[in-house]
Amino acid sequence: MPTYSYACKTCGHAFDIVQSFSDATLTVCPECGGDLRKQYGAVGVTFNGSGFYRTDSRGSSGVGAGAGSSTPA
């Protein structure tokens, strides 16, 4: 289950809570009863592998046939 961060608009109280995707969003601050807003932060994404190149999605016929290739005259 994901962890969500909330902050109160009134008192500034901030906290994290583990909620299911189907749970309703919290709207009331547990400290003062004010309005809550959900905090969004960076998402941890990891790309594993040798890397991504601009030629990865192209067919083999297009490799080496671009600008800069020369043919003997």
Name the DSSP letter for residue 54: T
Tokens representing residue 28 in the block: 């009331």
Is CATH 2.20.28 what the domain over 1-41 is classified as, yes or no? yes
Spans of all domains in the chain: 1-41
User: How far, in Å, CA of 34 to CA of 29, rounded?
Assistant: 5
Q: What is the pLDDT of residues 1-23, one digit of tens each?
A: 889 999 999 999 999 999 998 99
Give this prediction's pTM. 0.55
Q: Is the pLDDT of residue 51 over 80?
A: no
